[in-house]
Amino acid sequence: MLGEIKGLNEECGVFAVWGHKDAAQITYYGLHSLQHRGQEGAGIVVSDGDQLSIHKGLGLVTEAFKEGELDQLKGNASIGHVRYATAGGGGLNNCQPLLFRSQTDSLAVAHNGNIVNANGVKHQLENQGSIFQSTSDTEVLAHLIKRSVYPRLEDKMTNALSMLKGAYAFAVMTEDKLMVAQDPNGLRPLSIGRLGDAYVVASETCAFDVVGAEYEREVQPGEIITFDENGMHSELFSNAAPRRLCSMEYVYFSRPDSNLDQINVHTARKNLGKQLAEESPVEADIVTGVPDSSISAAIGYAEQAGIPYELGMIKNRYVGRTFIQPSQELREQGVKMKLSPVRGVVEGKRVVMVDDSIVRGTTSRRIVRMLKDAGALEVHVRISSPPITHPCFYGIDTSTKSELIAANHTTEEMREKMDADSLSFISIDGMLKGIGRKHYDSNCGQCLACFTGNYPTEIYQDTLHPHDKITSG
């Protein structure tokens, strides 16, 4: 994925282990496979049955854990996290898991998603004497659990989660328990696997393949699963709500080798490309995709259209993060560092450029220009998601309508701005058909809020840009 030049970023990834002597090492490899979900920080908390130990750091997983540091985390249970900073900002204090110690026990929390009523709950807790050590919305859960009057941890967790609104896949660990929970709408993915007699939990199933675990099942919306000395047991903390898995997980965020709700991501993206070719055909010589997340859709488009798929762009995989201040000139250079056109492929050709989404439009414009500078006669842009016209409040960094080009311009205006010869988006119905989740309702169990503005949860005023208006449904 193109990361910061792409303009669309996910909140984070969660991984957990219960009942394995090498819990920290397995979690390290699990987080490494989830690195695409967050590159700003990583951390692991391990339990040896008596105490919790933590290590976390800024940067990639390989940067956060230096030689020998992983060996100091001893125990047979762990939770880990990779972070992309949206709510709460960056910094080591906001890196997860968050660890809290008290005179009676300790509690570690890792979270994927975004709690939309976090500010209001924080205000209430602070009025009652709570002091927050981070600006992350994740910390709210720990305070609610600790303040709960229920004796059983599962009941404390249920009580706390009932006060939260938004998208969340939580992993919570004490000295003798691991608990995972999914929000009532199931907005973020979370799956359970088996590794011998041990259990593993991950935001994506690709992490199971890396550590040698076998997929068992999804964590269901509104479900709490507890792992302890008695094994795995489940209970619901919320009444059933319509499933609303984030559509962009299929379109962009998840790795192609992951399965979401037993649908392979690569297959879904390839079908999106085929559907896009049916809806928006064009005469061209080659089809190419923007690396990496658009390759599958480009292959599907080419196959359906009967146009050769070619590697028209190469991604430089050795460009690390830079601390250079992003002036306009340097942004242009950043695209050239990360992507290079293959002149011998695109020169003198009519090119269909398939991409997964357009957020702000700046990157698409630069890529179109790059292809034309390399000699492409025409560049026809095809997008395998509908126009993103509304901000996301569930863990994606598109928080205002003003930054979304499709919210403020027609398709023709966008085409002119990016100097493309044509521009088409897949329809919402076409996207739902391509992904193929047919066993739910008319939304196919997916959140469509960024395309329609119809949000599956209440959205609170303090999360909105002053000029934005939203509806809930």
CA atoms within 13 A of residue 142's CA, in its CB half-sphere: 27
Q: Tell me which of 12, 444, 447, 450 is the catalytic residue.
A: 12
DSSP 22: B
- Distance separating alpha carbons of residues 397 and 145, to the nearest angstrom: 28
- Distance separating alpha carbons of residues 14 and 335, to the nearest angstrom: 29
Q: CB burial class (10 A; 0-12, 13-18, 19+) of residue 100?
A: middle
Query: Count H helices, E strands: the chain?
Result: 16, 25
Strand 191-195 to strand 198-202: parallel, antiparallel, or no bridges (unpaired)?
antiparallel
pLDDT in tens, the chain (473 residues): 333 334 555 569 999 999 999 999 999 999 999 999 999 999 999 999 999 999 999 999 999 999 899 999 999 999 999 998 654 456 788 899 999 998 888 999 999 999 999 999 988 988 888 888 888 888 999 999 999 999 999 999 999 999 999 999 999 999 999 999 999 999 999 999 999 999 999 999 999 999 999 999 999 999 999 999 999 999 999 987 889 999 999 999 999 999 999 999 999 999 999 999 999 999 999 999 999 899 999 999 999 999 999 999 999 877 554 444 445 455 556 666 788 999 999 999 999 999 999 998 988 999 999 999 999 999 999 999 999 999 999 977 666 888 899 999 999 999 999 999 999 999 999 999 999 998 788 899 999 999 999 999 988 755 554 445 554 44
Q: Is the separation of the CB atoms in 136 and 109 below 8 Å?
A: no
Strand 446-447 to strand 454-455: parallel, antiparallel, or no bridges (unpaired)?
unpaired
DSSP 250: I
- Distance separating alpha carbons of residues 234 and 224, to the nearest angstrom: 6
Q: CB burial class (10 A; 0-12, 13-18, 19+) of residue 209?
A: middle
- Distance separating alpha carbons of residues 171 and 277, to the nearest angstrom: 40
Q: Which amino acid is at 104?
A: T
12 catalytic per annotation:
yes
- Distance separating alpha carbons of residues 457 and 132, to the nearest angstrom: 26
Closest CA to 99 of 110, 91, 108: 108
The DSSP code sequence of 28-90 is: HHHHHHTGGG--SEEEEEEE-SS-EEEEEEESSHHHHS-TTTGGG--BSEEEEEEE---TT--
